[in-house]
Amino acid sequence: MLEHMEAAGAEVEFAADLALFLRRAAGDGRLVSVECDGVSSLGHVVQSLGVPLTEVGSLTVNGATAQSSYRPAAGDRVRVDAVRRPQRLAEPRFVLDVHLGTLARRLRLLGIDSAYANDADDDALVEQANAERRVLLTQDRGLLRRRRLWAGGFVRGTKPDDQLADVLDRFAPPLAPWTRCVACNGPLSQVSKADVDSSLLPGTKRTYRSFSRCADCGQVYWRGAHSRHLQAIIDSAT
């Protein structure tokens, strides 16, 4: 821990976008003085100050690029920059924390592969993210600081609209609206009106324009007046 380090003194400067993560004990500003013990890595120092490495884009020491494994020494000037946006992913696949259910549904609505279970604990989330190579989206900073987690992202915003805008801005995933089941994340395929069991639909089918069915759970979706709110979400994102 930083408070037990005996040798002084490196200075760590954080980018403005990372200020929200800094612990109060680190000071009021973004320039933090830390003691160096010659053993702790730069990654450990940064995370001990409250900033998950998932949110760090680059590290420099005395003006030169450094790795998180670097061990700070007295007199070092460290700069910690945030992840540059957009952060492109080879495969934009996500798993979401239990508190982000509405965001998961909105991502699925846009055709983004988004796993979600409302009863998944932290260990299960990390295991799924690692096993399926998904980026873990969460607002739990401690979860993002877990060493076993292969990739994660902090979701900014308290409202679903703001959270969705933040994820799209950070990762810029390709969008394919109406291609994933909002309920289970399975793929949707178009079906004809004649193939739809009318008992599954409320009211009349006359105003519905198109239909699709989930290959995994069988959920039927239709496009009509009732879907204006969902279409508005799509329109705002595209």
pLDDT given at position 221 = 86
pLDDT given at position 5 = 38
CATH 3.40.50.720 fits 2-82, yes or no: no
Phi-psi region of 19 (alpha: psi -120 to 50; beta: other; left: phi over 0): alpha
Q: What is the 3-state secondary structure (H, E, C) of 114-179?
A: EEECCCCCHHHHHHHHHHHCCEEEECCHHHHCCCCCCCEEECCCCCHHHHHHHHHHHHCCCCCCCC
Say which residues have a Cβ less than 8 Å from residue 121's Cβ, sequence separation at least 6. none
pLDDT given at position 224 = 62
CA distances from 203 to 39, 50, 225 (A): 68, 53, 12
Phi, psi values for residue 134, rounded to 5°: -105, 150
- CB atoms under 10 Å from CB of 20, counted, come to 12
Instruction: Identify the CATH class of 85-176.
Output: alpha beta
pLDDT given at position 210 = 81
Which of 59, 19, 52 shows the shortest CA–CA distance to 149? Answer: 52
pLDDT tens for the 238 residues of the chain, in order: 444 334 469 999 999 999 999 986 555 568 999 999 999 999 999 999 999 999 999 999 999 999 999 999 999 999 999 999 999 999 999 999 999 999 999 999 999 999 999 999 999 999 999 999 999 999 999 999 999 999 999 999 999 999 999 999 999 999 999 999 999 999 999 988 777 776 656 555 545 668 899 999 999 888 764 567 777 888 888 8
Tell me, yes or no, if the two domains 2-82 and 85-176 fold the same way.
no
pLDDT given at position 80 = 98
Domain ranges, ordered by start, for the chain:
2-82, 85-176, 177-238
pLDDT given at position 28 = 55
Global confidence as pTM: 0.88
